[in-house]
Amino acid sequence: MSTPGQTQQETAGEAAQDLVIEDRGHVRVLTLNRPQRANALTPELMAAIAEAFVEAGADPEVRAIVVTGAGDRAFCGGFDLKARHEADQAGKPFVYLMSTRERFVFEVIYETYKPVVAAINGAAVAGGFELALACDLRIGEEHAVFGLPEAKRGMGAHFATVMLPRAIPRAHALDLLFRSEYIDAAKAESIGFLNKVVAKGKALDEAMAWATQIAGNAPITVRRMKETASKASGLPASAALRLNEGVNPYLSEDRVEGIAAFVEKRPPRWKGR
């Protein structure tokens, strides 16, 4: 968080250091870079993440996004409660995240139409659990732990309260929310939160393999799938089946190219149109 006397430019510079952005082919990798604080979220870091997702969504060269954390201890430990405690002691008001002028960072991630893979390299708890939840696919390392301790902290877990029962069976979701107990990676996979558990140090490699495979598919089709799946959630089937989100792949140049490549037994050359 910013300290007295800091300029906005200095604060933005710190946020940039706290989020490392790199491109690997058509995959953009975002790394939370605060390992000394369990990659905990600050308002500045959350703003930087949201901005990075908006930019990735607008970049035609980016076809998939991977989110991970620095180090091997934590993917993300949630909101920086030490910093918040200092702010409370200083009498600074708490600004509820959903009440800010900008969209909530987890909403931005969830609504980004490009597939997002979480490479969970360590603990994903509280806001870190919600960060992983906002992603589409989740690869977790075997030593990682997961949980929502908000009920023990007097916090809210608003995003998880709404979205977790849509991602995993309701009884498991409410168990995590109500009892605030941590679970290990094997349990997280068994209840459907994780797509796959890998050895320690292998989450990013596996997530990159998945994201690269996704990026090799027709971008218009993948975009359509992501947008439709997101916006169909909660709708009656009759309404969901009539959604027409994004560019229609059946009418695209890539549909012609995909069929031609199959018939000619060669890799397709996607144009994204």
Catalytic position from the list 44, 150, 206, 227: 150
Whether residue 7 has pLDDT greater than 90: no
What's the pLDDT tens digit per position in 211-244? Answer: 999 999 999 999 999 999 988 888 899 998 888 8
**Span 159-179, pLDDT tens digits:** 999 999 999 999 999 999 999
Q: Taking residues 116-125, what's their average pLDDT? A: 98
| Domain ranges (residues) in the chain | 8-215, 219-264
Of the CATH numbers 3.90.226.10, 3.40.50.2000, 3.40.640.10, 3.40.50.10090, which one belongs to the domain with range 8-215? Answer: 3.90.226.10
- Determine whether 150 is an active site residue: yes
Q: What are phi and psi of 24, to 5 degrees?
A: -125, 95
- Label residue 52 exposed, middle or buried (CB < 10 Å: 0-12, 13-18, 19+): buried
Which H helix or E strand runs over 196? strand 196-198
Confidence of residue 209 (pLDDT cuts 50, 70, 90): very high
